[in-house]
Structure 1
Amino acid sequence: MPKKLIHISAFSLFCSGLLTACNANNDAIAQIKPSQIKQNYQTEQIATFEEPWAMAQLADGRLLITEKKGYLKLFNPQTRQSIDISGIPKVAYGGQGGLGDIALHPNFEKNQWVYLSYAEAGKGGYGAVVVRAELDVVDHNPKIKNITRIWEQVPKVSGQGHYSHRILFGPDGKLWISSGERQKFEPAQEMQSNLGKILRLNDDGRPAEGNPFINQGDIAKQVWSLGHRNPLGIAFDAQGKLWDVEMGPRGGDELNVVIRGENYGYPIVSNGDHYNGLAIPDHHTRPEFKAPEISWTPVISPSSLIFYQDKLFPQWRNKALIGGLSSKSIVVVDTAQTPVIEVQRLNMKQRIRDLDIAHDGSLWVLEDGKDAHLLRLLPK
């Protein structure tokens, strides 16, 4: 039966009270496809954290690891010791909210600037915030100080889902932020809101020169692309292209190449449907919207995205690695092929929250949830 177009405001009234959880907990686990490459690996458990969300590496190999309840850990892989970093702002913990992503300024070695995203409560409900602070880890009492608030989701809304709030510095030195539509649907298409968007800013939070909607208002100045649902991973490939991976509704998880000024169609189109069974037209029915390069039904529940650009795992070189929640996997995608294709899926047996490449080319992997392991992947 062909899908019928559902008016956005009609389904938002029905769905706004549904699901504070994303498809990580509600869709069928994705079926593992036959691998096209056979990169071998082995896994080592390194440490345990409580609801970790993201990590960043210092030049000396120590890791900064965020935990959702509002803790930032300084972890030394050599000694396997973890120290709390003080000075973290109060976060709104609950649902998908809490302390989120972390990124180092490109000139971190000189300015010591670290960027954090987190959920906060305020007038109207909840929203994500990004702050910049100085990181002091020279003694046994590490702390962040001189916190400056540089960005927030507009408007704050009810519910604690789909913050997204991934942060990334690009090759151009600009700060990129993924902002989820907060399970409110319509804001992803509205230019007076920065929900459901990919944003490009200067390092102080001001809109970056060259953004496509610079003449459409103060909020629109931030926007690089729109029509996104819950983009939980953003990364640049070796050619400097930006990609995002985002959760679809009931089916239709997406990997997109993120292009200046493009509209990715949510909630007007999606390759999935609403949790209540209402259909959403597929991307091919509305060619004016940018379709994903690859989509997944059953879902993989993507949590994070990196491009592997080292030599230790030669068959993963220049390929996208996607952390999977409900799929309990790392999904390897070759974005150089036409069409883009999944080439390997690592069965991790646990929900995967974040990925990073260690200085020696091995892979750091953070599991999701309570008593979650930090894993190290090495060639077998």
Structure 2
Amino acid sequence: MSSSIGRSKTSSSTKSSETSSSVSLFAIRPNAGTEGRVMEVVANHFPMKFTSDLMVYHYDVDMEPMRLNQELSQMTFSDDTADKSDKRRAKKLNSKVYRIVVEEAIKRYSGPGELFDGVLPVFDGQKNMYTRKELDLERFAVKGGPSLPIPVGNSLYAPASEAKGMRKDIGGGRQLAYGYFQSVRPESNGVSLVIDRTATALYDSGPLVRFISKIMGIQNRADFMALKEFRDSDRKRIEKELKGIVIQVTHLTYKRKYKVIGMSKEPATRVTFDYKKTDPRGKEIDLGKISVIEFFEKHYPDRCPLHFGHLPCIMVGNSKNPNYLPLDVCELVPDQHVSKNLTNEQMVEMIRSSASQTPANRLAFIRESAKSTILDSKPYMKEFGI
């Protein structure tokens, strides 16, 4: 991943213009009211104070994708941003990858004499980076890892491993997740940090078979195993829900991740491909056709007992030449945001659950989020004199 950071130069200029002959006069706002009684109102605004000698540098961050292998490309590029009419044009990175790249860059280039030596930058996830010290700019290349907590828009959500009591099932393989939104707002007497509770929908994690059974409204595994096949309408509904979701496989020694591109029309026992092996001299030998189930039983007999070979395969990779995976070896990667529309029932459940919290509980949640923000941001607050 190639990334360049350029410091923005801001200049102000005044242009003379002719004054209009007719000037509109507006009524001046009166002072605060004098009648009635004074009331104290509890607000989710937390005053912020800055040191008087604060100097902040603003940098515009620009990232350009380099050639990546197919798996990493699937995981980092937004399908909806690719210009299919011109494959030569670079794809646009999604917002999650921006954060991944910058976080990894800061981690990797913080050594003595390097770009971020003695600097704690703040990045907004798009194009803006702020530092207390001026950076000695240079080009650099990085690769990214995971980012926590989970950013969805301008809100933050705890990962599944730390989200006890902050998730609720809303049906169909989806769950309601509580998080918080934070922003800095100017006020008449200074600047304050505004924090409020937010909610969004995330996909369940775990075995893909369990997720599909929830989509179909099947309550237990025995009933799902009793299915001889998917009706075409069910298969299309499942495929529509799965497209774009990231899964990980269980038959390898590591959990490799893929983005789902579709579902086969035929069951795994009838989906075949050309089976080839390479001999010790490096010559490729064509062994004819083999089904997906036969291949997995031959190569991974101990790691993946297969119970659903009579059901369709998950398709991953290139749409023109996809790879096929049996349902048994697929799991949903946790903490994936639901970008598709919710059903009416799911929307009602989200509204009911969000509205059921009392003002006192909501205020307690906001205060706890403020404490967490302050605790997690202490190094940055010290860096920027807050």
TM-score class, shorter: under 0.3
Q: TM-score, normalised by structure 1?
A: 0.22
Given the two structures, how large is their TM-score scaled by the length of structure 2? 0.22
Rg: which structure is higher?
2
Higher strand share: 1
Structure showing the higher helix proportion among its residues = 2
